[in-house]
Amino acid sequence: MAIDQRGPALPRSRGDLSAAVIGYLRGEAALPGAGAALPDDPYGDDLQLALYVCYELHYRGFAGVDATYEWDPGLLRVRALLERRFLDALRADATRHDGPGAALAELLVEPVDGTGVSHFLRDDGQLWQVREYAAQRSLYHLKEADPHAWVLPRLWGRAKAGMAAVEFDEWGGGRAERVHARLFADLMADLDLDSTYGRYLDAGCADALATVNLMSLLGLHRSLRGALVGHFATVEITSSPGSRRLALAMKRTGAGPAAEFFYDEHVEADAVHEQVVRHEVIGGLLAEEPHLAADVAFGVDATGYLEDRLGEHLLGVWRAGDSSLRVAL
């Protein structure tokens, strides 16, 4: 057996399905059968947590769990059922564009009166809300750029070279202290948060889990490489203006210098990345495989849809004076 000792602890379950998956990894329960009913809500806590746990086996795993579960046939069968439910829902709910041209053009236009999370935190956010936002986003940012790395062996030519160049920057350009996941851990330290990998999985809401699950879903399937490129483009195009607002939010709330630096770094870096992704990664991919145009557009649409869901959740509870987290900080 190859028991992982340094990974995060297994989370608490959020329903029958996630309880079965987590119990199976502990050696205490059987997996659902092939005909088992899935949760009604494809974006809900139970399904998203179960899917997140399955995907995490491909990253750092969990403390006390045998590393060979990564390719366990039973878990892969259950994961496939969850992925199909999630992907079918996204294709039905999120698809808005037939090709990437119009989808990307919308991203390049900033609304005059923005109402998103970064606007709220810049203008009205309090330090406790900034801390909650960091805890939610830590589910991705402590593995920043890793889900997108899955696509590198599935690209070639201009697309591969452009993608590798951007990923190299995300991983600090060869300097460990500049790796973006390390910079986010420093941000968390400024905010008096625990930067241990996976620490806030129990606290993260279903919509935050879904945004990370989308990256893993698209990255782990070669057939979805076009959608993964669309996701990556969306992140890079929208990052620079959003990061500028978040840097101002960190400054206004007194979050600390490392917190400000994380977003300042993304303002400059992602402005350059956006050009590379649009012209080299997407341009190179579609020059080689024009049939993937609709998949690229789907990646853009699905990313925007899930980010909007997360934003609506955060703003809804914050404006009501409530916490966005399942477990208090």
User: Which amino acid is located at 136 in the chain?
Assistant: Q
pLDDT of residue 6: 79
pLDDT of residue 57: 98
Q: If we measure between CA atoms, which residue out of 146, 116, 108 comes closest to residue 133?
A: 116
- The answer to whether 311 touches 129, Cβ cutoff 8 Å, is no
- The answer to whether 249 touches 130, Cβ cutoff 8 Å, is yes
Of residues 129 and 115, the one with the higher pLDDT is: 129
End-to-end CA distance of the chain: 35
Please state, in angstroms and as integers, the Cα–Cα distance from residue 317 to each residue in 127, 283, 326, following that order: 15, 40, 12
pLDDT of residue 190: 97
Domain ranges of the chain: 16-92, 99-319
Tell me the β-bridge partners of 3: 66
CATH code for the structural domain at 99-319: 1.20.910.10
Q: Residue 138 — pLDDT band, cuts 50, 70, 90?
A: very high
State pLDDT tens for residues 19-55: 999 999 999 999 988 778 889 999 999 999 999 999 9
State pLDDT tens for residues 243-265: 999 999 999 999 999 999 999 98
Q: Which two tokens stand for residue 36?
A: 């088992």
How far is 181 from 176, CA to CA, in rounded Å? 10
Mean pLDDT of the chain: 94
Tokens 């925007």 belong to: 304
pLDDT of residue 1: 60
For the chain, what percent of residues have pLDDT higher than 90?
Answer: 87
Q: Residue 207 — pLDDT band, cuts 50, 70, 90?
A: very high
Q: Residue 270 — pLDDT band, cuts 50, 70, 90?
A: low
How far is 49 from 203, CA to CA, in rounded Å? 11
Say what the pTM is.
0.96
Q: Residue 109 — pLDDT band, cuts 50, 70, 90?
A: confident
In this structure, how many other beta carbons lie within 10 angstroms of the beta carbon of residue 176? 8
pLDDT of residue 275: 87
Answer yes or no: is pLDDT of 290 > 90: yes
Q: Which two tokens stand for residue 133?
A: 């936002």
pLDDT of residue 266: 87
Q: Residue 108 — pLDDT band, cuts 50, 70, 90?
A: confident
3-state secondary structure the chain: CCECCCCCCCCCCCCHHHHHHHHHHCCCCCCCCCCCCCCCCCCCHHHHHHHHHHHHCCCCCCCCCEHHHHHCHHHHHHHHHHHHHHHHHHHHHHCCCCCHHHHHHHHCCCCCCCCCHHHHHHHCCCHHHHHHHHHHHHHHHCCCCHHHHCCHHHCCHHHHHHHHHHHHHHCHHHCHHHCHHHHHHHHHHHCCCCCCCCCCCCCCCHHHHHHHHHHHHHHCCHHHHHHHHHHHHHHHHHHHHHHHHHHHHHHHHCCCHHHHHHHHHHHHHHHHHHHHHHHHHHHHHHHHCHHHHHHHHHHHHHHHHHHHHHHHHHHHHHHCCCCCCCCCC
Answer yes or no: is pLDDT of 268 > 80: no
Please state, in angstroms and as integers, the Cα–Cα distance from residue 281 to each residue in 105, 149, 156, 160, 163, following that order: 16, 13, 10, 7, 6
- The answer to whether 166 touches 244, Cβ cutoff 8 Å, is no
- The answer to whether 325 touches 205, Cβ cutoff 8 Å, is yes
pLDDT of residue 127: 98
Answer yes or no: is pLDDT of 115 > 90: no
Q: How many CA atoms lie within 13 A of 183 on its CB side?
A: 19
pLDDT of residue 112: 61
Answer yes or no: is pLDDT of 269 > 90: no
Q: Residue 273 — pLDDT band, cuts 50, 70, 90?
A: confident
Answer yes or no: is pLDDT of 279 > 80: yes
